[in-house]
Amino acid sequence: MAGKAKSPAKSPAKSKKPASPTDWLAQAHVLTEALPFMQRYDKKTVVIKYGGHAMGDETLARQFAHDVVLLKQAGINPVLVHGGGPQIAAMLARLNIKSSFKNGLRVTDAQTIEVVEMVLAGAINKQIVTALNAAGGTAVGLSGKDGNLLVAKKTRATAKAARSNIEKAVNLGFVGTPTKVNSHVLDVMLASDIIPIVAPIATSANGQTLNVNADTAAGAIAAALGAERLLMLTDVDGVKDKKGKPIERLSKTQAARLVKNGTAQGGMIPKLETAIDAVKNGVAATAILDGRVPHAILLELFTELGAGTLIE
């Protein structure tokens, strides 16, 4: 009778080098340095606008999920508002639906709004929820339509005609500007161990579905909640001066001046405008962070260094 085949020999597992006393002391030092910041934000609300490279890079996304769960476990109340422009563009391309932009906002017709809602409130929202739950949190996804969280009106925009330089009205379709935030549903979640993940899809007073810019939605939600911080993750290392040097701190007036004199350009303009409005409306401060930096939100909240530009 043939004997049992031998199992293949297992290669010995590589032993992990044990941490030295110096390593442990360094970790203890980091914790003691972070303690005053943890106390500052204890039981405070932090609204995070999540998007860009931080959301598209798998490693950064995993780190971000763990960092948000850490905030909740440290006694802070995080609320996530996410974008999804690249994913929307990819789905529109797959469906052969042409897309255009005016004043940095996607022109959203009846066909496009269905795709936007499907991608934002469906696929992306649930991916983020899954990542945070896998990191040990209790995340719940919702859109601005749930509980009438975000009520908006159609955005009115203007653009200068190429030849006459005259301002003319621009029809953006189903693009919205928040008029009301019903924060009760978020208050209930924040009073528990739940981390809310919000897709920036709103409803109008007459029930129309509207696409809201994620930065704008995050600013409105942060103001309604009286958040201690609004953190806006970007793909640049903060706000820059005319020489291209990152600025660590700005007042509302200084930030507005950068927009007015043309120093801030492109996508930084609406971010600064959102930051200014949020601070005017009760948010203690807004930070525009480089989301490409690992653990950017922890660096901003728990260290003197920070990870971008603070507007207050």
Domain assignments of the chain as residue spans, ordered by start: 42-311
Q: Burial, 34: exposed, middle or buried (Cβ in 10 Å; 0-12, 13-18, 19+)?
A: middle
Contact 74, 35 (CB under 8 A): no
Q: Which residues contact 115 (CB under 8 A, 6 or more apart)?
A: 88, 91, 92, 95, 97
Contact 105, 175 (CB under 8 A): yes
| DSSP helix/strand/coil, 62 | helix
Q: What are phi and psi of 202, to 5 degrees?
A: -115, 175
User: Quick one: pLDDT at residue 29?
Assistant: 56
Q: Which residue has the tokens 């948010």?
A: 283
| DSSP helix/strand/coil, 106 | strand
Q: Burial, 53: exposed, middle or buried (Cβ in 10 Å; 0-12, 13-18, 19+)?
A: middle
Look at the alpha carbons of 65, 66, 72, 77 in this order and tell me if their dihedral is positive or negative: negative
- Identify the CA nearest to 240 among candidates 251, 230, 248: 248
User: Quick one: pLDDT at residue 23?
Assistant: 58
Q: What is the enclosing helix (H) or strand (E) of 57?
A: none
pTM (2 d.p.): 0.85
pLDDT of the chain, 312 residues: tens digit per residue:
444 344 444 444 445 566 666 655 565 656 667 676 777 888 999 999 998 777 888 899 999 999 999 999 999 999 999 999 889 989 999 999 987 777 667 788 899 999 999 999 999 999 999 999 999 999 999 999 999 999 999 998 766 555 556 666 777 889 999 999 999 999 999 999 999 999 999 999 999 999 999 999 999 999 999 999 999 998 888 899 898 898 999 999 999 999 999 899 878 888 999 999 999 999 999 999 988 889 999 989 988 777 789 999
- Identify the CA nearest to 52 among candidates 283, 202, 302, 231: 231
Q: What is the DSSP letter of 15?
A: P
DSSP strand pairing (157-160 vs 167-170): antiparallel
Look at the alpha carbons of 47, 52, 58, 60 in this order and tell me if their dihedral is positive or negative: negative
Q: CA-CA distance, 57 to 77, in Å (whole number)? A: 25
DSSP strand pairing (229-234 vs 285-290): parallel
42-311 belongs to which CATH class?
alpha beta
User: Quick one: pLDDT at residue 86?
Assistant: 87
Q: What are phi and psi of 39, to 5 degrees?
A: -65, -35
Q: CA-CA distance, 186 to 146, in Å (whole number)? A: 10
Q: CA-CA distance, 235 to 217, in Å (whole number)? A: 19
| DSSP helix/strand/coil, 27 | helix
Q: What angle do CA 140, 143, 145 make, to 5 degrees?
A: 130
